[in-house]
Structure 1
Amino acid sequence: MGKQHDLKQYESQDPGLGTIYQKSVKRILNEDGSYNIKRIGSIRMLKDFYKYLVDLNAWWFGVFLVGSFLVSNLFFAGIYCWIGTEHLNGIDPQQNSFIAAYYFSAQTFTTVGYGAIAPKGNLTSFVAAMEAFVGLIAFAIATGLIYGRFSRPSTKIAFSHNVIITPHKDKMALMFKIVNQRNSVLLNTKIHVMLSLVNEDSSTNMVTRKYYNIPLEVDFVRYFPLTWTLVHVIEEDSPLYDLNLSEIKAKLAELLIIIEAFDETYSQTVVRKHSYAEHQWASGVKFKKNFSADETGTIVLNIHEISDLEPLS
């Protein structure tokens, strides 16, 4: 009863992720910070196409731009061929008529207009004028999308692969590490950590998820140029007290993390979400130190070693 009473100071209200379920559920947040939730009835891609394109993977976004350009010109080239390529002055008789119409379409769409081929007749001229208008609008939209992708604040904060339970100052502690992968300067970095534990009621077959605020030894730093090891000392009133690794995993423990920092590059506050769950919990190990001073006294930071672990000595 004493421990249950002491836990009250750590308990938190539902942060918006739900507390009661009819069966055991997967982790709430994926490792990349995305929600592990299947939404039914939300705005789909076609209704929110701008957000879809801004969030699209960079490689697929490039494919979309190039593909849209090629398909648009195929469409207009088909119209010119339907009208008749005899209405396009300057086509080389030895050149394929569709290829010639396609190149004319590309020149019109981009408003380059080399002048080698020109429309003849009202219908062909009208289609060319409409294509030039569509091209202007299309490039304006593409420019806006590219600007939107590059201008929005983003973070490249990397997390260690594991969250560990390890000895610390004659006690046990929960630890994980973070590092800024960019050369940008992060200031006034604040971290909030919440622990989710699941309890199953055998009488009702209902699963209850409880949330606990996890205090850290240090949850705020002015400067963040190196790796930062976040430490929660497991005191007697901690929700992790007296729980071994198997019990932690049996309770489907999930560590929910939110980082807020001021990025000098964007002159804005950036936010990063992350989660640790399932196989990412570890014990009986400690983090290796991944920065040191060289012979000149310069601090050398190896970002790739942020997740390196070693057994306890």
Structure 2
Amino acid sequence: MHSSDTSKPKRAAGDKAAARGPKQRLVDQHRGNSELVEQEEQRKDLGFGTRINESVSRLINKDGTFNVNRRNEGFWNRINIYHRLITIPWIKFLGLVLTFYLSSNVVFATLYSLLGYENLSGIENVTPDTPIGRFMGAFFFSSQTLTTVGYGHISPVGYWTSGLAAIESMFGLLLFALATGLLYGRFSRPVAHIRFSRNAVFAPYLDINGWMFRIINERGNQLIDVQVEVSLSRLETKADGSSYRRYYGLKLERTKVNFFPANWTLVHPITDDSPLYNCTAEQLADSDAEFLILLRGVEDTFNQTVHCRYSYRYNEVRWGEKFKPMFSGSMDGEGTVTVDLNQLDETEPVSLN
């Protein structure tokens, strides 16, 4: 009786442990998953992902666009007409407007010629009675109808020609309304015209070294509350020998200025906790390093937030050089400080600490 009594508690304890086994394993599994999730949440990723492990030209182009080729996009999503017309250079925009205007008049002039020049009353008094002259007369009548100028020298005759002229006048109203909206959008779109130094440098900073670059506002409009973020992208090797791209946030000496009237040299002090500590130019090249920069600020004319992007590749970093001062060191007759924008890229050799 005594031995059987002692065996019951042992069996009960064993059954209880066995019952807790799967539950404990489930708890451990959840704890492990939570730790992995926490690690993923803390992993810095700028949106490029870690699988970009091949050496590419750069992640961010010099004009701030992303060096990403998107395939299998929809036609309208790919051309994105409004965005392109708003952001393309002025010369291209004006060239497109002029080309579309001339081609539209050529199309309508051709339609008038197909309907017959005799349906354009007064055309014989405007242009020579030759094939080219009559077509140019139809072209000029089309331009007057498209712009709703209507000098009255030529007028349509008949239902078909008058109907075509009515359609063209409506087309002209829509066209110029669209062009006016695009012009307003281009003029009213605030843009941060920030000029970056051609190269970044490794230069002495206090009693250590620092990674530096310099910026300046190219235009007279003021930017306030300017903030800058810098990240380092480089390839690293896992334990299994595979490579992946990792991103580090670089701590700057100063990340924000309230006013930005002159140049600003941004410095990342290379301390013991910096990812650039004891780094060499060869290591930067081997890891395909790139410094990614994001700048934000408020443009005071429109009171809107503007931003720009830039990057420095490993071969755009000069070692043992520092930036020369951009100030003239003197005041002019009106007491204003002189800053020479052409000196933004000028450096001079210096010994590293």
After superposition, residues 215-254 of structure 1 pair within 5 angstroms as 215-254=251-290
After superposition, residues 1-313 of structure 1 pair within 5 angstroms as 12-21=43-52, 23-44=54-75, 48-92=80-124, 94-95=128-129, 96-200=133-237, 204=241, 206-296=242-332, 297-312=335-350
**Does the Cα contact within 8 Å between 2:229 and 2:294 map onto a contact in 1?**
yes
Give the gaps of 5 or more residues in structure 1: 1-7
| SS class of match (2:301) | coil
Change (3 A) 1:247 1:47: closer
CA distances 1:68-88 after superposition (whole Å, capped 9, x unpaired) = 000000000001100000011
2-side partners of 1:121 and 1:115: how far apart? 16
Structure label with greater radius of gyration:
2
Structure 1 or 2: more strand by fraction: 1
The CA deviation at 1:121 is 0.7
2-side partners of 1:189 and 1:47: how far apart? 32
The CA deviation at 1:245 is 1.6
Change (3 A) 1:210 1:181: same
Aligned-residue CA RMSD (Å): 1.9
**Does the Cα contact within 8 Å between 1:263 and 1:269 map onto a contact in 2?**
yes
2-side partners of 1:168 and 1:81: how far apart? 76
The CA deviation at 1:173 is 0.5
Q: What code does the residue aligned with 1:83 have?
A: L
**Does the Cα contact within 8 Å between 1:19 and 1:209 map onto a contact in 2?**
yes
Structure 1 or 2: more helix by fraction: 2
**Does the Cα contact within 8 Å between 1:194 and 1:213 map onto a contact in 2?**
yes
Give the gaps of 5 or more residues in structure 2: 1-38
CA distances 1:153-188 after superposition (whole Å, capped 9, x unpaired) = 211010001111111111010100010001011111
1-side partners of 2:239 and 2:261: how far apart? 49
The CA deviation at 1:43 is 4.2
CA distances 1:279-301 after superposition (whole Å, capped 9, x unpaired) = 21111111010113325453100
Change (3 A) 1:219 1:106: same
| SS class of match (2:246) | strand
The CA deviation at 1:115 is 0.3
Q: Which has the higher contact order (CA 8 A, sep 6+)?
A: 1
The CA deviation at 1:21 is 3.7
2-side partners of 1:139 and 1:295: how far apart? 50
**Does the Cα contact within 8 Å between 1:190 and 1:261 map onto a contact in 2?**
yes
**Does the Cα contact within 8 Å between 2:226 and 2:257 map onto a contact in 1?**
yes
Q: What code does the residue aligned with 2:57 have?
A: K
After alignment, is 184-193 or 85-94 more displaced?
A: 85-94
CA distances 1:11-60 after superposition (whole Å, capped 9, x unpaired) = 85212111124633332111221101111123446752111211222111
- Provide the TM-score with structure 2 as the length reference: 0.82
2-side partners of 1:300 and 1:57: how far apart? 30
**Does the Cα contact within 8 Å between 2:284 and 2:314 map onto a contact in 1?**
no
- Provide the TM-score with structure 1 as the length reference: 0.92
**Does the Cα contact within 8 Å between 1:285 and 1:310 map onto a contact in 2?**
yes
**Does the Cα contact within 8 Å between 2:53 and 2:235 map onto a contact in 1?**
no
